Structure 1
Amino acid sequence: MSENQLLQTLIRVQDELCVTISVNTHRTHPDNLNDRIKIKNFTKEAIDRLLDKHVKKDVSGLIEKLEKIEHDLDINYNLESLHIFVSATITEVFKSSWETNQEGVHISNTFAVRPLVKEIGRQTSYLVMLLSQSGVHLFGALNGRIVEDISNEEFPIPENQLYNTFPDKASDAKHLDDLLREYLNRVDKALLRYIGEKKMVTLVFSTEDNYSKLLQVADRPSIYYGYLPIDYNNIETHQLESRAWNFMKQELVRKNDDYFKELDAAVGKGLVITDLQEIYRACQDGRGELLIVQESFHQAVKILSDRDIEIVDSNIGLDTIDDISSLLALLVDEKGGQTVYVPEIPNEELRPIALKTRY
């Protein structure tokens, strides 16, 4: 199920007890061995808290689910964080491309869906090209995951077949260089045919020399976002996606600057709200266009009506939401807006949460 489908499933759950476990994880061995320990410890904490507050027979089903997930999890395919969602009717595990600053156990009558909201709000699609001695492979990536090994009439491309056939030019560096450029030009044209009119950037794994020549012969150099030095000992898919994602995160930092400029411009037009109550009402009315939230912001509220909320210290209680920003993000998304989580909003007057409205 997609992130959007999972999010919609989780927010519609009406179960009395919803358990969320969030853990920062690692992609590679031996660091991921610690993931197993943390997951086990957080699972035990969740079970202890359930037994402390409820009769054992009433929560035995939840405990069985938690123990089964902890036992069955394969830590060899983790991303940056892992999130477990368990209730009487739900058993889901979600792996995120982003670290979480809220590691731990959350038990309430709603799930802590912030990791999903963040994943959806910061989705970046791009291509990864592996330009190696054995040919060219193209992959489709979404955030920190390679989701497709592209195989069609264009890709993969076999190794360079443009060999020197003139004995007198065997030591002619310019001639050999021209043959390589011709091959790279064919690679570029194949990529352009695949992309078509889509706005996609491509990250290339290659030697510096090959990448430089590729840009020189490219019809549209702007489609190439950058390159990473190829390591022939580490070209498995999971190795490529980890390096590619660390590189691509830089693009999202630049995107943040664009969001901040958009927010500042809207301030002068009177289109920015920072009061939590007013933000809630604007989101309910469908006026929310861009919601920017600092990652450190976390506020529990009690929902009094579709017009009013009450800030509370505890996330326990009927109609209490553990993290109001998650609910606001859902309301914004439903009306075609966007939510972005950022490390910090530069403008102090707009911290820790600000909404740009449509009117």
Structure 2
Amino acid sequence: MSEEKLLQTLIRIQDEICVTISLNTHRTHPDNLNDRIKIKNLIKEAIDRLLEKYDKREVANLIAELEHFEQEIDVNYNLESLHLFVSNTVSEVFKSSWETNQEGVHISGNFAVRPVVKEIGRQTTYLIMLLSQSGIKLYSALNGHIVEEVHNEEFPIGENRFYNTFPDKASDSKHLDDLLREYLNRVDKALIAYISEEKIMTLVFCTEDNYSKLMQVADRPSIYYGYLPIDYNNVETHQLETRAWEFMKQELERKNEDYFKELDSAIGQGLVLTDLQEIYRACQDGKGDFLVVEENFRQAVKLVSDREIEIVEDPVGKDIVEDISSLLALFIDERGGQTLYVPEIPNQELRPIALKVRY
């Protein structure tokens, strides 16, 4: 199930008891052994709280599903965080490329869906190129994991076949460098042919010297993010995706600065809303371009009508949405906009939530 469909399912659920379990996880052994212990402890906490608050028969199905999760989750395939969503009609596991600040057990009439919203809002597709002595491999990646290796007429590319055939030039470093540049130029052309006109960029694992030469012959240098030094002892897929994701997270943080600048410039045009009621209506009407929310901001509201919300302190009850930003994010996503969760909005006047509208 895609993140978008999962978000729609979780937000629109009508079950009275919704259990969300969230924890930060690890990608590699032996750290991921602690993940299993955390999962076991949090599931036990969830079961204990269910039995304390509800009749055992009422929550029997929920408990059975939670116990099933404890046995079935494979910690060898975790990302940065793990989230379990369980109700009488929903049973979903979601692995996120981002750490969570809502670790623990959440039991209410709504699911705690912020991790799914964050994954959608920061979703980025990119390519990873492994430029090694044995040839070139190209991988497509989404957020923190490699989706697949590219196999087509061009990729993977075999090792450099541009050998020196002139005995008197065997020690001519310029001639040897020219042969390497010819090889890298063909690699660059193969990459351009693959991405065509798509706005997708590539991160390269290679030596500093090879990347420098690649940039010298690249027809479109702008399609490259940069490079990470290659470690020939650590070129397995899971090792590449872990290092690449650390790089990409920094890139995404820099991209947030562009959103902040756009937000500030839109203030003078009257295109920024900070009032929750106004934001709610604009998101419903499809006016939302992008929503910026501080990660610590949570606000429960009551849906008074299709167009009206009322701020409440108690996040439990009929027509109550535990976190209005999650519902806003759903409206925006369905209408082609984007939601960004950030540590802090630089402009104090726009904190803790601001919407840039299209018109």
SS of aligned partner of 1:297: coil
Partner of 1:110: 110
Amino acid across the alignment from 1:87: S
Partner of 1:176: 176
Partner of 2:123: 123
Partner of 2:187: 187
Partner of 2:284: 284
Map residues 339-354 of structure 1 onto 2, 5 A cutoff: 339-354=339-354
Greater displacement, 346-355 / 315-324:
315-324
Alpha-carbon distance, 1:297 to partner: 0.8
| Alignment of 1:157 onto 2:153 | no
Q: Deviations over 1:319-359 (max 9, x none)?
A: 21111100111112222222111111000011000111233
Q: Deviations over 1:200-238 (max 9, x none)?
A: 111000011111111111111111110000011111111
| Cα distance change of structure 1 residues 66 and 172 upon mapping to structure 2, 3 Å threshold | same
Map residues 244-263 of structure 1 onto 2, 5 A cutoff: 244-263=244-263
Amino acid across the alignment from 1:129: M
Map residues 56-67 of structure 1 onto 2, 5 A cutoff: 56-67=56-67
In 1: Cα distance, 2:66 partner to 2:114 partner: 20
Greater displacement, 316-325 / 188-197:
316-325
Partner of 2:357: 357
In 1: Cα distance, 2:218 partner to 2:282 partner: 47
Alpha-carbon distance, 1:62 to partner: 0.5
Partner of 1:293: 293
SS of aligned partner of 1:42: helix
Amino acid across the alignment from 2:168: D
In 1: Cα distance, 2:221 partner to 2:172 partner: 28
In 2: Cα distance, 1:33 partner to 1:125 partner: 30
Alpha-carbon distance, 1:50 to partner: 0.8
Map residues 11-26 of structure 1 onto 2, 5 A cutoff: 11-26=11-26
Greater displacement, 51-60 / 284-293:
284-293
| Alignment of 1:96 onto 2:99 | no
Structure 1: segments with no counterpart, 5+ residues: none
Amino acid across the alignment from 1:213: K
| Alignment of 1:46 onto 2:75 | no
Amino acid across the alignment from 2:107: I
In 1: Cα distance, 2:345 partner to 2:286 partner: 23
SS of aligned partner of 2:58: helix
Greater displacement, 114-123 / 299-308:
299-308
In 2: Cα distance, 1:327 partner to 1:191 partner: 40
Alpha-carbon distance, 1:312 to partner: 2.3
* 8 Å CA contact retained: 1:130, 1:136: yes
Aligned-pair identity in percent equals 77
Partner of 1:200: 200
* 8 Å CA contact retained: 1:300, 1:324: yes
TM-score by length of 2: 0.97
Alpha-carbon distance, 1:247 to partner: 0.4
TM-score by length of 1: 0.97
Matched residue count: 359
In 1: Cα distance, 2:314 partner to 2:274 partner: 22
Q: Deviations over 1:138-177 (max 9, x none)?
A: 0001111111110010100011112222222222212211
In 1: Cα distance, 2:261 partner to 2:146 partner: 31
Partner of 1:308: 308
Alpha-carbon distance, 1:314 to partner: 2.5
In 1: Cα distance, 2:201 partner to 2:320 partner: 42
In 2: Cα distance, 1:276 partner to 1:326 partner: 13
Alpha-carbon distance, 1:49 to partner: 1.1
In 1: Cα distance, 2:278 partner to 2:286 partner: 12
RMSD between aligned residues: 1.3
In 1: Cα distance, 2:232 partner to 2:115 partner: 34
SS of aligned partner of 1:244: helix
SS of aligned partner of 1:269: coil
Structure 2: segments with no counterpart, 5+ residues: none
In 1: Cα distance, 2:326 partner to 2:43 partner: 23
Amino acid across the alignment from 1:81: S
Partner of 2:228: 228
In 2: Cα distance, 1:307 partner to 1:106 partner: 28
In 1: Cα distance, 2:165 partner to 2:289 partner: 61
In 1: Cα distance, 2:70 partner to 2:130 partner: 36
Partner of 1:265: 265
| Cα distance change of structure 1 residues 162 and 305 upon mapping to structure 2, 3 Å threshold | same
Alpha-carbon distance, 1:56 to partner: 0.5
Partner of 2:72: 72
SS of aligned partner of 2:174: helix
SS of aligned partner of 2:59: helix
Partner of 2:213: 213
Greater displacement, 62-71 / 273-282:
273-282
In 2: Cα distance, 1:335 partner to 1:175 partner: 56
SS of aligned partner of 1:62: helix
In 1: Cα distance, 2:164 partner to 2:124 partner: 41
Alpha-carbon distance, 1:126 to partner: 0.7
Amino acid across the alignment from 1:125: T
